[in-house]
């Protein structure tokens, strides 16, 4: 089972996002944050977060790159619970039980993107605002000869 963790190849995330994610945090697309946005909202660092920021499930910051890595069932369950709680506290869901299926769906979408990719494959997202809402495109960048373990933080599958 795989998911993605935030990765920093340089210091640019600290300059382009209002709230940059820390290195090595579990991440999802997080496009739901932009579901009610219009062109008027797309200014400055908010535009950068919208255009190509992955959402960390730990600090709730944004990152430009994420890397595919294994995840345990226990870690996955904890992330689903954390996201469901976030939907209640910050997005108006009535309770965790109602929010849980939506959280599962968000994380499942990310798992589907990662599952058939090699470990350390980088993912990039490009979002645009269309007449029918947010459109996302994803790009996969295969790990080259340099091992990303020297940069990426991976959890143990033990």
SS (H, E, C) the chain: CEEEEEECCCCHHHHHCCCECCCCCEEECCHHHHCCCCHHHCCHHHHHHHHHCEEECCCCCEECEEEEEECCHHHHHHHHHHHHHHHHHHHCCCCHHHHHHHHHHHHHHHHHHHHCCCCCCEEEEEEEEECCEEEEEEEEECCCCCCHHHCCCCCCCC
Q: What pLDDT digit, counting tens, does each position of 4-46 carry?
A: 999 998 899 999 999 999 999 999 999 999 988 888 888 999 9
Quick check: is 6 in a domain?
yes
Quick check: is 104 in a domain?
yes
Quick check: is 97 in a domain?
yes
pTM of the model: 0.86
Q: What pLDDT digit, counting tens, does each position of 65-98 carry?
A: 999 999 999 999 999 999 999 999 999 999 999 9
Average predicted confidence (pLDDT) for the chain:
91
Task: List the domain range (segments joined by +) for residue 101.
Answer: 2-144
Quick check: is 152 in a domain?
no
**What total number of domains does the chain contain?**
1
Quick check: is 33 in a domain?
yes
């Amino acid at each position: 089972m795989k998911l993605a963790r935030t990765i920093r190849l340089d210091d640019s995330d600290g300059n382009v996002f209002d709230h940059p994610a820390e290195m090595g945090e579990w991440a999802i697309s997080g496009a739901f944050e932009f579901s009610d946005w219009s062109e008027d909202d797309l200014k400055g660092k908010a535009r950068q977060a919208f255009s190509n920021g992955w959402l960390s499930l730990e600090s709730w910051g944004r990152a430009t790159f994420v890397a595919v890595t294994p995840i345990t069932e226990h870690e996955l369950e904890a992330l689903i619970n954390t996201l469901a709680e976030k939907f209640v506290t910050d997005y108006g869901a009535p309770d965790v039980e109602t929010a849980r299926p939506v959280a599962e769906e968000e994380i499942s979408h990310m798992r589907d993107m990662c599952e058939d990719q090699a470990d350390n494959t980088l993912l990039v997202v490009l979002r645009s605002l269309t007449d029918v809402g947010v459109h996302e495109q994803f790009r996969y960048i295969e790990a080259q000869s340099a091992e990303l373990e020297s940069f990426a933080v991976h959890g143990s599958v033990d």
